[in-house]
Amino acid sequence: MSLSIPRPDCSEEEWKTRVDLAACYRLVSLFGMTDLVSNHISARIPGTEEILLNPFGWLYEEITASSLIRIDVAGNILHNPHARYSINNAGYIIHSAVHEARPDVGCVVHTHTPAGIAVSALQCGILPISQSAMRFADIAYHDYEGVVFNESEKGRLVADLGARDVMVLRNHGLLACGATVAQAFNSIYRLERVCQIQLLAQAANSPLIQPSAELVRLSNQQYAGNKSSLGLPATPLGEMEWPAMLRLLDKHNPGYEQ
């Protein structure tokens, strides 16, 4: 993987963000979390109020670092290398809302997977019935208001998200955010698996074992501490795995860094 910067107007920080974001798009595709050309993953260019989004109409598996479109949170297009593609309006509204309200967020991932949408339509939402689910003990929920074309929804969306990192968009899908692309990818991957596990358990038509609230809190705290590697300092969830994810991508779908 090369981090050489092909454009003189692109900073080193922006190019690294572009490479990581392009990799995230392709990883989401590799793990089967895409919806044709729909959905978006955004990343903030460090130290700015500018974000990167995909050209609407490209498959996730096609995204490269240089193909990403740079906009500001007000929706102004600052750099678009495409004559026939631009950004999707609903994607802009959802992602810019989070980036504008949460300066701690470097990346936002939104998906429309069958498992995620199915759980979003359940009144119970996500249940803490698996160890993975207990990582997300505090999950935000946002009620469906139609396709997100109305900018007035931005305020309600970020109010529902609050300071949390994951949210279920009712009757719609999943959203995860993180300080880095690596952390956001890890959260959406785990949240997706949580939904799959829950649906499998519920489909068995047998009583579910509900761990106590004390156990859920303990497990959540253990995840937050992330002290799983003996002799090594704790790192935010997703950071340790990211180099391995890039190696996996280099093997199965290289070229994202172009």
User: DSSP labels for 147-195?
Assistant: SS--TTHHHHHHHHHTT-SEEEETTTEEEEEESSHHHHHHHHHHHHHHH
Cβ density class 175-192: b for 16+ within 10 Å, e for less: bbbbbbbbbbbbbbbbbb
Angle separating helix axes 12-30 and 181-203, nearest 10 degrees: 20
Which pair of tokens denotes residue 118?
Answer: 């199915």
CA dist 22 to 61, 92, 131, 190, 222, Å?
9, 17, 30, 20, 31
pLDDT at 184: 98
Q: Which long-range contacts (CB under 8 A, 24 or more apart) does 11-16 make?
A: 11/45, 13/45, 13/46, 13/47, 14/45, 14/46, 14/52, 14/70, 15/65
User: What string of pLDDT tens digits covers the 258 residues of the chain?
Assistant: 556 666 667 899 999 999 999 999 999 999 999 999 999 999 999 999 999 999 999 999 999 999 999 999 999 999 999 999 999 998 899 999 999 999 999 999 999 999 999 999 999 999 999 999 999 989 999 999 999 999 999 999 999 999 999 999 999 999 999 999 999 999 999 999 999 999 999 999 999 999 999 999 999 999 887 766 667 788 899 999 999 999 999 999 999 999
Count Cα neighbours of 121 within 13 Å in the Cβ-side half-sphere. Answer: 10
18 close to 56: Cβ distance less than 8 angstroms = no
93 close to 101: Cβ distance less than 8 angstroms = no
Q: Strand pairing of 140-142 and 166-169?
A: parallel
